[in-house]
Structure 1
Amino acid sequence: MRNDFANVARILLSGAIAVALTGCATILPGSGPSNDDVVAQSSYPGFQRYEVIDINSSVLDILRHREADSFLAHFGDYRPSVEPKIGVGDTVSVTIWEAGAGGLFSAPLVSDRFSTGSKSSTIPDQIVGRDGSISVPYAGRVRVAGRTTQEVQIIVERALAGKAIEPQVLINMPRSVSNSVTVTGEVANGARVPLSVRGDRVMDVIATAGGIRAPVNETYVQLSRGRETVRVAMTRVSADPRENIFMRPNDVLTLIRDPQTFIAYGATGRNAEIPFDAEGISLSQALAKAGGLLDFRSDPAGVFVFRFEPESVVRALNPNTTIAAPHQLTPVVYRLNLRDAASLFVAQGFRIQNRDLLYVSNAPITDAQKVMEVVGLISGPTTTGLAAYSFVK
């Protein structure tokens, strides 16, 4: 009877160990895929899921020349502002002078008061109507929309020729709605800012609106012109004069606060969403902010950065890619092997982008340790039974 019990116990122990060893890949807890899993799972038969790119000096050179969003590239507007034109809704004033007294717009001569009379008359301010016109006495409705003040002066003078005494006309725009830009978002005073004749750049308009409220390194400038909208980092606009382009009437400038962060995950000292706290950081700085690699868990050869890249970058990294498509972002996994001392220099040149995911895989020995722990949990009761049996025997 006792021999039967011992045999059964030994069979159960062997079976438990076999189950633990064969099923460890699916039952063991973990923080994510291993180094080999990340590479192996990049594609299925006939289907590519993402690109795996090993970080080296060639990759750094390609990423340095990537095309970032640019006001200059999209709008090509690095020129002085054109002379403003009158538009619907603008306020226009008209002043008319005549060469002599007693005309349509001048007072008559009063000899007993030794006065030659006023030779000018100012028409009350008018708002340009929806038809794009204003009214001028003895000239009728004059179309002014889409014309400069000098052009309107000539038109009114010609309309009054033969009616007034050698008329001279001066057109002013006390308030202009059509020659303004809208500034909103993270500014001190959101407003409609009128453009000057000299021309106003992006930074001029932001300053007129009271400046930004958020930190410069967390602010993006979004310019909407017509049907196109482009967003550029505030740090780039302030540092690169070419991006500080001239504004155009009816532009909409929105300042957006978007803190720059990355996510640290896996065998790092800190698993969290971590802010840059700077204009930009490198991969080595990101690893330091994440608490470095855990000595007892991490695989130095399995440092990954998960990111979505545009087609142009993916094709430069891998000309034979099968998943890059126009106007779409492609998932790319960058891999760094920190077992190679030279990779420490590479890590300093690799720039982390907003919303990147930094992942460090577990070392293979970590999974082996977990297997042994599972085996110990399963075999413990059986071993205790065998010991008790031996004692009784």
Structure 2
Amino acid sequence: MRNDFLNVAGILLSGAALLALTGCGTLLSGSGPSTDDVIAQSTSPGVQRYEIVDINSSVLDILRHRGPDSFLTHFGDYRPSVEPKIGVGDTVAVTIWEAGAGGLFSAPLVSDRFSTGSKSSTIPDQIVGRDGSISVPYAGRIKVAGRTTQEVQGIVEHALAGKAIEPQVLINMPKSVSNSVTVTGEVVNGARVPLSVRGDRVMDVIATAGGIRAPVNETYVQLSRGQETVRVAMSRVSSDPKENIYLRPNDVLTLIRDPQTFIAYGATGRNAEIPFDAEGISLSQALAKAGGLMDFRSDPAGVFVFRFEPESVVRALAPGSTLVAHNRVTPVVYRLNLRDAASLFIAQGFRIQNRDLLYVSNAPITDAEKVMQIVSMISSPALTGLSACAYIKC
């Protein structure tokens, strides 16, 4: 019986040893790929899956020149808005003066020798029709759409010449819908804000709409003009005068709340989606927010940032990349080796972006420790049995 037990124990120990030798890779559970796996899996047979970029000073220079989206760059518009022009749907008021009484638009001379009668007449407010015209008595339909108030005044005066007594005309726009900006989103009062003759910048219009409701560092300003839409951080618009551009009629300004977060995963002290709590943070700050690297588990040479980059950035980082396609983003994995002391300076200059994934791989010794734990778990019953058998002298 003792020999049978020893044979069984030997089989268990042999199996445990074989499991240790093979690495039991399929049985081990981990938080993700190892450093070598991330590098090796960037390509599969004949296909490149993502770019691996080692973070260094050259990479930081390229990313600094990348720059965020900019109103000034896209619209190139840092001049005061042009003088408003009348458009379809605007409300127009016409007032006409004459040089003497008794004319088309002035009252007749009264008997009182000290009164000359009224010399002016105001035509009721009119909304510019779809034909772009308004009606003026004795002048007919006047085309006003696309013209300034001064231009319309001259046209009406010319049309009344010879009919009225030296007419003088004043054109006003009590309400203009064609010279306004639509403001919506995270503002106190979404509205159609009319633009002034002086010109209104982005911050002026936002203030007119009551200001923003969300924190500045979580708010983006999205400007749609024609077929182009650009989104810029509110903190940048408020701090950089060049981004606080003048708006144009029919612009659509949307304030969007988008909390800035990154995901920490792997051998860090905290695996979670973590908010920036600031306008922007560096990789070193992100590691600190994630609880740092775990002393007995993490691989300092395996700190990775997973991100999708635009075409222009990838062409600068990896000119020969086969993944780059026009108007498409490319998956890029940035790697930092914290075993190198100089990398601590590099980490301070590398900026984390919204929705980045920060991953720290396990150290190779961690997998070996897991193997030994499994071997111990399997062999422990056999060793216990042997000890008992030796004690009772079976």
Shorter-chain TM-score: what band?
over 0.9
CA distance in 1: counterparts of 2:114 and 2:197, whole angstroms: 42
Q: List aligned pairs for 1:97-136, cutoff 5 A.
A: 97-136=97-136
Structure 1 residue 354: Cα displacement: 0.7
CA distance in 2: counterparts of 1:178 and 1:275, whole angstroms: 41
Structure 1 residue 23: Cα displacement: 4.9
1:21·1:371 contact (CA, 8 Å) conserved in 2? no
Partner of 1:153: 153
Partner of 2:191: 191
- TM-score where L is the length of structure 1: 0.97
> In structure 1, the residue corresponding to 2:88 is in which secondary structure?
coil
What value does the CA root-mean-square deviation take over the aligned residues? 1.3
1:264·1:290 contact (CA, 8 Å) conserved in 2? yes
2:12·2:378 contact (CA, 8 Å) conserved in 1? no
> In structure 1, the residue corresponding to 2:285 is in which secondary structure?
helix
1:17·1:378 contact (CA, 8 Å) conserved in 2? no
Unmatched 5+ stretches in structure 2: none
1:13·1:379 contact (CA, 8 Å) conserved in 2? yes
Query: Aligned AA for 2:139?
Result: A
Structure 1 residue 20: Cα displacement: 4.4
Partner of 1:249: 249
Query: Aligned AA for 1:327?
Result: N
Partner of 1:39: 39
Q: List aligned pairs for 1:293-332, cutoff 5 A.
A: 293-332=293-332
Partner of 2:65: 65
Query: Aligned AA for 2:268?
Result: T
Q: List aligned pairs for 1:196-235, cutoff 5 A.
A: 196-235=196-235
1:181·1:252 contact (CA, 8 Å) conserved in 2? yes
CA distance in 2: counterparts of 1:126 and 1:169, whole angstroms: 15
Structure 1 residue 138: Cα displacement: 0.7
Q: List aligned pairs for 1:4-43, cutoff 5 A.
A: 4-43=4-43
Structure 1 residue 167: Cα displacement: 1.0
Q: Which moved more, 1:352-361 or 1:14-23?
A: 14-23
> In structure 2, the residue corresponding to 1:367 is in which secondary structure?
helix
Query: Aligned AA for 1:94?
Result: V
Partner of 2:79: 79
Moved over 6 A (4+): none
Structure 1 residue 364: Cα displacement: 0.7
Structure 1 residue 108: Cα displacement: 0.9
> In structure 2, the residue corresponding to 1:332 is in which secondary structure?
strand
CA distance in 1: counterparts of 2:368 and 2:53, whole angstroms: 28
CA distance in 2: counterparts of 1:308 and 1:2, whole angstroms: 64
Partner of 1:54: 54
Q: Map Cα deviations across residues 201-256 of structure 1 (whole Å, 9 max, x no partner).
A: 11111111111111111110000111211100111111221111110111110111
CA distance in 2: counterparts of 1:168 and 1:12, whole angstroms: 111
Matched, 1:276 2:276: yes
Matched, 1:378 2:359: no
- TM-score where L is the length of structure 2: 0.97
Query: Aligned AA for 2:132?
Result: G
1:336·1:343 contact (CA, 8 Å) conserved in 2? yes
> In structure 2, the residue corresponding to 1:236 is in which secondary structure?
helix
Structure 1 residue 381: Cα displacement: 1.9
Q: Which moved more, 1:108-117 or 1:307-316?
A: 108-117
Query: How many pairs align?
Result: 393
Query: Aligned AA for 2:152?
Result: V
CA distance in 2: counterparts of 1:298 and 1:95, whole angstroms: 80
Q: Percent identity?
A: 86
Query: Aligned AA for 2:105?
Result: F
Q: List aligned pairs for 1:167-178, cutoff 5 A.
A: 167-178=167-178
CA distance in 1: counterparts of 2:19 and 2:295, whole angstroms: 30
Q: Map Cα deviations across residues 296-323 of structure 1 (whole Å, 9 max, x no partner).
A: 1111111111111011111111111110
Structure 1 residue 140: Cα displacement: 1.2
CA distance in 2: counterparts of 1:44 and 1:150, whole angstroms: 70
Partner of 1:91: 91
2:23·2:371 contact (CA, 8 Å) conserved in 1? no
CA distance in 2: counterparts of 1:200 and 1:187, whole angstroms: 17
CA distance in 1: counterparts of 2:308 and 2:243, whole angstroms: 25
Unmatched 5+ stretches in structure 1: none
Structure 1 residue 9: Cα displacement: 2.7
Structure 1 residue 101: Cα displacement: 1.2
